[in-house]
Amino acid sequence: MPRIQPHHPAPTLEIVCDPAPNRPNEDAWLAVQVGGGAGTLYAAAIDGVTARITPPKLQTYLDALPARPTSATYAAQLVRDSLARQIVEGAANSPRALLIEANAELGRAMRDLFGELTPEALQLPAESDAMLRHDPRLVRAALPACVATLIAYNAADQTLCYAHAGDTALMVVYRDGHVEFPTAAALDFDRPLKRTAQAERAAHPKMSYRELTQQPEVQRYNLRAALRHNYVDEHGLPQPAQGIGVLDGLAELRYFVNMGMFSLAQVAWVCVMSDGLEWPASAQEVFTEDAARASALRAERWAFMAQEIGTTGLAGYLHTLREAEAADPDFERYPRMKLHDDATGVLLRF
């Protein structure tokens, strides 16, 4: 007798991609099904990295495109289109391989434009940072870049594979209410930047946190933080423990892509999201020196996200998030670098 295959209903999809008010949307998303109902569903959240420096030649190129995208939007959309094309063509089925090839495509586009990817070829302004102007790693502050989390849901064996670079995230909520972020290692990458802004309070006690984020020392720190993208040391050796992965066309990305696989047997839903959709950490969580307390506060925040998303869906949760951000215009309750960020998520309910 033929073996009867178990029936697994297709997951329902919820998608949001909401730009910050009065700014171009620098996020993108992907949801592609291949192989029919028993095939594989790919989904991704892609977040363009706001450029610290935009080389003149790149700006001219972007201005000549029909939509005149920002550097971040260009990177996010190129990576999205590359992923979609690869998936449809069946070029690779590994999420890691898909991300690496999309990154290579971005690199080829930039080499077509600049030739070499060096500070000299990019014509970076000398006043960018006196300490960095001769450092070849400075190109990381000027290349179009994005971060991404890509998942592949296999309906036949009820597993999920993921590949991840940067501070986008994969949120997994189990039927018993347990919450996990397999990609959590990169979520605190901007904490030192937030603490740098807080340190400026000693010199400017009357400034709001929002004003402190605009101080020159904070902006200099933010520029230098870009060197941590696919970080290599002064000898050119990749140092994954000291940096963060980004898709910026540089080959070192391959050392910074995290990946994994797990069973969906007890999972209620999963969501890939840009960091703008994550509930922001409170001042107590960001600035405490007690690691245990920070961990407990983070767990409470994740549980709140799970409850809100599970109950009201992504759209309802996003509405609540935007209200909370608007009620904290000085960034005091939730220390952050922007009032609102682009918020993107693709949620799969099983």
- Dist. CA 179–CA 239, nearest whole Å: 30
H/E run at residue 13: strand 12-18
Cβ atoms within 10 Å, residue 327:
9
Q: Residue 229: name the closest of 195, 252, 260, 259 by CA.
A: 252
Q: Give the distance between the most distant pair of CA atoms in the chain.
A: 79
pLDDT in tens, the chain (350 residues): 344 444 556 789 999 999 998 889 999 999 999 987 678 999 999 999 998 889 999 999 999 999 999 999 999 999 999 999 999 998 767 999 999 999 999 999 999 999 999 888 988 766 555 555 678 888 999 999 999 999 999 999 999 999 999 999 999 999 999 999 999 876 677 889 999 999 999 999 999 999 999 999 998 888 888 889 999 998 999 999 999 999 999 999 999 999 999 999 999 999 999 999 999 999 999 999 999 999 999 999 999 999 999 999 999 999 999 999 999 999 999 999 999 999 999 999 99
- Cβ-contact 131, 119 below 8 angstroms: no
Token output for 346: 């693709």
H/E run at residue 159: strand 159-165
**Per-residue confidence (pLDDT) for residue 115, from 0 to 100:** 94
Cα distances (Å, whole numbers) of residue 123 to 139, 158, 227, 237? 10, 50, 17, 24
Q: Residue 189: name the closest of 47, 62, 12 by CA.
A: 47
- Cβ-contact 56, 114 below 8 angstroms: no
- Cβ-contact 61, 16 below 8 angstroms: no
H/E run at residue 85: helix 71-89
**Per-residue confidence (pLDDT) for residue 5, from 0 to 100:** 44
- Cβ-contact 340, 319 below 8 angstroms: no
pTM score above 0.75:
yes
**Per-residue confidence (pLDDT) for residue 132, from 0 to 100:** 59
- Dist. CA 302–CA 171, nearest whole Å: 9
Domains of the chain as residue ranges with CATH: 13-190+229-278+337-349 (3.60.40.10)
- Dist. CA 225–CA 222, nearest whole Å: 5
Contacts 24+ apart (CB under 8 A), 307-316: 309/173, 309/269, 309/271, 309/347, 310/173, 310/268, 310/269, 313/14, 313/347, 314/14, 314/15, 314/16, 314/271, 314/277, 314/345, 314/347, 315/14, 315/16
H/E run at residue 27: strand 27-34
Token output for 32: 């592609």
**Per-residue confidence (pLDDT) for residue 9, from 0 to 100:** 67
In DSSP terms, 150 is beta-bridged to 44, 163
Q: Mind giving me the DSSP string for 199-229?
A: HGGGT-TTS-HHHHTTSHHHHHHHHHHGGGB
